[in-house]
Amino acid sequence: MSVPTPAPKGRYDLDNSIGYLLNRAAALIAARFDDDLKERGVSLQAWRILAALSQSEPQSLSELANHTGSELSYLSRSVVQLEARGLVERSQSVLDKRASQLVRTGQGRDLVRELAPKARNVERLSLQDISAEDLHITLRTLREVCHNLVPHPDAPSAVNRKLTIARRVKQKALAQSEEPTPRRRTTRTIKD
C-alpha cells in the first residue's frame, strides 16, 4: 500500500483525509438508507438508537450517546420521541438508582427486525468489490482510530461533550471488566 503524497503547503487534501472520507461515506450510506427509514416514519437518529440497543441492552443515555456518536441533549429528545411511539421504554438502573436505562419494546424489536435486512443491503452495496481482507483491515483500523481519539480515563477531562461521555463509558467499562460479578447486559448482532 503506497502512502499518499502530501498536499502542497498551505492546502488540506480532502481526498486523503480520513475524517473527510469517513464523514462522506457515512453521509452516502445514510442517504441510501433514508428512503427505507422514511417509509416507516423513522429518523436516522431513531434507527441508530434502536440498532445500538439491539446490540446491547439495557443501556444508559450516556452509553447510547457514546455508541451512536450523538450529543446527549439531542439523543435525549430522540429517546423521548421513541418512548412516545412505544418503541423504547425507560426504567431505573439496577446498578445506579439515580440513572435510568433503556430497552426496546416488542414494537421496537419488530421494527429492528424489519429494517435490519434493509440496512444490511445498503452495507452490502457499500462494500461490493472490497475484499474480505481489505474489509478486515479497514474495520480494525477504524476501531483503532476510535480508540486513539477517546481520552484515557485517567487523562484530564476533555472539553468536547462527546469525548467526555466516551471517556466516562471507557472508564466504566474498564472498572466493570475488573469486577468479578456477572453483568445482566446482553450483546448480540442486529438480527432481531
Specify the fold of 14-128: Arc Repressor Mutant, subunit A (1.10.10)
Residue pLDDT, tens place only, 71-86? 888 888 999 999 999 9
CA angle 70, 53, 46 (to 5 degrees): 50
Cβ neighbours around 33 below 10 Å, total: 20
pLDDT of residue 38: 92
Cell of 185: 447486559
Residue pLDDT, tens place only, 122-176? 999 999 999 999 999 999 999 898 888 776 656 555 555 555 656 666 666 666 6
For the whole model, what pTM was predicted? 0.70
The amino acid at residue 141 is T
**Sequential DSSP letters for 119-176:** HHHHHHHHHTT--HHHHHHHHHHHHHHHHHHSPPTTSPPPSSHHHHHHHHHHHHHHHH
- Distance CA(29)–CA(126), nearest Å, equals 7
Domain boundaries, the chain: 14-128, 131-178
Query: Which H or E element spans position 63?
Result: helix 61-68
Distances in whole angstroms, Cα of residue 94 to Cα of each of 72, 102, 115: 21, 12, 30
Cβ neighbours around 104 below 10 Å, total: 22
Residue pLDDT, tens place only, 4-61? 665 566 677 888 888 888 889 989 999 999 988 999 999 999 999 999 999 998 988 8
pLDDT of residue 100: 85
